[in-house]
Amino acid sequence: MKRRVFLTGLAAAGVAGCSKPAEEGTPAREPEQTFQWKMVTTWPPGFPGLGTGAAELAALIEEASGGRITVHVYGAGELVPAFEVFDAVSRGTAQIGHGAGYYWKGKIPAAQFFSATPFGMNAMERNAWMFYGGGEELWRKVYAPFNLIPAAAGNTGVQMGGWFNKEINSLSDLEGLKMRIPGLGGEVLQRAGGTPVNLPGGEIFTALQTGSIDATEWVGPYNDLAFGLYQAARFYYYPGWHEPGTCLEAILNKEAFEALPPDLQSIVLLACRAVNENMLAEYTARNHQALESLVNEHGVQLRKFPDEVLARLKTLSREVLEDVAASDPLAAEVYESQLKFQDQVERWHDISEYAYYRARELKE
Ligand code: CA
């Protein structure tokens, strides 16, 4: 029945935008076309923050379009597996996807830089680069050959360093460690002597509990509490050097997006922008509540990575980033753009955000 309404709508609309006003001074209303979209995601269905962010994006698109676009959301594995989201949207199995760029690193080395860059920019800086520093333009260029239009659609803020069953006192404690850590951070771990594993979120808990991995990072307290990771590892390390402001992405099938009239295209992009901001606010609000619960109710041992470990990881990160850039011209272009922007924004943030954090801690 729905299909009939859809087809009737399409036929009635004819060639959009050509009809004349019905009366002088009274704009004609086109019969409304409706669009039925599928959204595939890399997240477990309804998963806090990420899955709910994807669901929020779908709901916003429906609501703001007055139902002219409906979006059916599929969690990881419901229509396609998590790591096939990119291909599914690229070929038009779904019109929109929600995930993270580093999941596609095997296909597009440059994609990783759009989700998280080790020791790179935080959420505020990344958004500045994305919207005012040429980031979005580069991103569209990188995804264009895949028939996809990307849009920033969520940010977790600074993540946690991960869950370990032993203390990390020196770099040698990372040697031989089999850890779930995706993207560029994983390559850094490899250089530090560890073995990175790329697993979708839904498989992490079991892998850690059964010992098929020794350690894992996921997101932050809000998500990690929901997965129950504290039941499988004792030490919870910070900071998330590898993901200092991870950007989640919406990917739009180019034909599906271009089939929309301009107002609906705007609505889709504005919904992405809204979710991009909302998700960061949600993480900021919920992470500290969840951290309290992890420490006070579940006895989690919080630990900071030693400075010498972080300094070494930073050096290794730089090496990895430069190697990825050297292997792929597009990755080089993105990396150089980020590096330049980060250098500038860091100088500003040293005397603004950072100086203020320090000032806030002072006591007389
Ligand atoms: Ca992560």
pLDDT of residue 165 exceeding 80, the answer is yes
Tell me whether residue 19 is in a domain.
Answer: no
Domain count, the chain: 2
Q: Give distance in angstroms: CA of 182 to centre of ligand 1.
A: 7
110-125, pLDDT tens digit by residue? 999 999 999 999 999 9
Q: Give distance in angstroms: CA of 86 to centre of ligand 1.
A: 18
8 A C-beta contact, residue 152 and residue 272: yes
pLDDT of residue 19 exceeding 60, the answer is no
Backbone dihedral angles phi then psi of residue 355, each to the nearest 5 degrees: -60, -35
Q: Give distance in angstroms: CA of 355 to centre of ligand 1.
A: 27
Which segment, 18-27, 47-56, 100-109, 136-145, is predicted with the most confidence on average?
136-145
Q: Give distance in angstroms: CA of 236 to centre of ligand 1.
A: 13
pLDDT of residue 9 exceeding 90, the answer is no
SS3 call for 359: helix
Q: Do 40 and 145 fall into the same domain?
A: yes
Average pLDDT, stretch 129-152? Answer: 98
Q: Give distance in angstroms: CA of 30 to centre of ligand 1.
A: 46
Tell me whether residue 180 is in a domain.
Answer: yes
CATH number of residue 253's parent domain: 3.40.190.170
Tell me whether residue 17 is in a domain.
Answer: no
Q: What stretches of the chain show up as alpha helix (H) in DSSP?
A: 2-13, 50-64, 85-90, 123-132, 135-143, 183-191, 204-209, 221-227, 254-258, 262-296, 307-327, 329-351, 353-361
pTM for the full model?
0.87
Ramachandran sector of residue 246 (left: φ over 0; alpha: ψ -120 to 50; beta: rest): beta
8 A C-beta contact, residue 181 and residue 217: yes
Percent share of the chain, pLDDT over 70: 91
- Alpha-carbon distance of 49 to 284, in angstroms, equals 11
Q: Give distance in angstroms: CA of 69 to centre of ligand 1.
A: 31
Average pLDDT, stretch 143-157? Answer: 98
Q: Do 199 and 251 fall into the same domain?
A: no
Per-residue pLDDT at 26: 62
Lowest mean pLDDT among 25-34, 149-158, 239-248, 343-352: 25-34
Lowest mean pLDDT among 12-16, 52-56, 315-319, 358-362: 12-16
Domain end (from 285, 313, 348):
285
Q: Do 335 and 187 fall into the same domain?
A: yes
Q: Do 63 and 185 fall into the same domain?
A: no
pLDDT class for 74, splitting at 50, 70, 90? very high
Q: Give distance in angstroms: CA of 245 to centre of ligand 1.
A: 10
Tell me whether residue 291 is in a domain.
Answer: no
- The closest alpha carbon to 180, from 160, 159, 207, belongs to 207
Q: Give distance in angstroms: CA of 220 to centre of ligand 1.
A: 8
8 A C-beta contact, residue 359 and residue 353: no
Tell me whether residue 23 is in a domain.
Answer: no
Domain end (from 254, 285, 316):
285
8 A C-beta contact, residue 47 and residue 156: no
Q: Give distance in angstroms: CA of 119 to centre of ligand 1.
A: 14
Q: Give distance in angstroms: CA of 187 to centre of ligand 1.
A: 14
8 A C-beta contact, residue 250 and residue 153: yes
Average model confidence (pLDDT) across the chain: 92
Q: Do 257 and 153 fall into the same domain?
A: yes
Q: Do 235 and 314 fall into the same domain?
A: yes
- Alpha-carbon distance of 309 to 170, in angstroms, equals 6
Full domain range(s) for residue 116: 36-158+244-285
DSSP per-residue string spanning 295-315 = HHTT--EEEEPPHHHHHHHHH
Q: Do 44 and 131 fall into the same domain?
A: yes
Q: Give distance in angstroms: CA of 242 to centre of ligand 1.
A: 8
Q: Do 118 and 64 fall into the same domain?
A: yes
Average pLDDT, stretch 209-220? Answer: 96
pLDDT of residue 25 exceeding 70, the answer is no
Q: Do 122 and 225 fall into the same domain?
A: no
Per-residue pLDDT at 39: 98
Tell me whether residue 256 is in a domain.
Answer: yes
Q: Do 154 and 196 fall into the same domain?
A: no
8 A C-beta contact, residue 100 and residue 65: no
Per-residue pLDDT at 202: 84
Which residue type, as a one-letter code, is found at position 232? A
Q: Give distance in angstroms: CA of 258 to centre of ligand 1.
A: 32
Residues in the chain: 364
CATH number of residue 317's parent domain: 3.40.190.10
Q: Give distance in angstroms: CA of 358 to centre of ligand 1.
A: 27
Q: Give distance in angstroms: CA of 174 to centre of ligand 1.
A: 17
Q: Do 229 and 252 fall into the same domain?
A: no
pLDDT of residue 21 exceeding 80, the answer is no
Which residue type, as a one-letter code, is found at position 61? I
Q: Give distance in angstroms: CA of 363 to centre of ligand 1.
A: 34
Q: Give distance in angstroms: CA of 26 to centre of ligand 1.
A: 53
Q: Which long-range contacts (CB under 8 A, 24 or more apart) does 339-346 make?
A: 341/121, 341/125, 341/128, 341/129, 341/133, 341/134, 341/135, 342/120, 342/121, 342/125, 342/129, 345/121, 345/125, 345/128, 345/129, 346/125
Q: Give distance in angstroms: CA of 274 to centre of ligand 1.
A: 22
Q: Do 73 and 222 fall into the same domain?
A: no
Per-residue pLDDT at 345: 98
Domain end (from 259, 285, 311):
285
Per-residue pLDDT at 201: 84
- The closest alpha carbon to 6, from 67, 64, 55, 57, belongs to 67
Tell me whether residue 232 is in a domain.
Answer: yes
Q: Give distance in angstroms: CA of 62 to centre of ligand 1.
A: 29
pLDDT of residue 224 exceeding 70, the answer is yes
8 A C-beta contact, residue 178 and residue 192: no
Q: Give distance in angstroms: CA of 65 to centre of ligand 1.
A: 33
Question: For the CA atoms of 86, 90, 92, 96, what is the dihedral angle to 10 degrees?
Answer: 50
- The closest alpha carbon to 228, from 182, 297, 172, 322, belongs to 297
pLDDT of residue 235 exceeding 70, the answer is yes
Instruction: Pick 105 or 27 by higher pLDDT.
Output: 105
Average pLDDT, stretch 309-334? Answer: 97
Lowest mean pLDDT among 16-25, 57-66, 139-148, 294-303: 16-25
Q: Give distance in angstroms: CA of 44 to centre of ligand 1.
A: 15
Tell me whether residue 48 is in a domain.
Answer: yes
Percent share of the chain, pLDDT over 90: 86
Q: Give distance in angstroms: CA of 72 to centre of ligand 1.
A: 26
Q: Give distance in angstroms: CA of 243 to centre of ligand 1.
A: 6
- Alpha-carbon distance of 37 to 351, in angstroms, equals 46
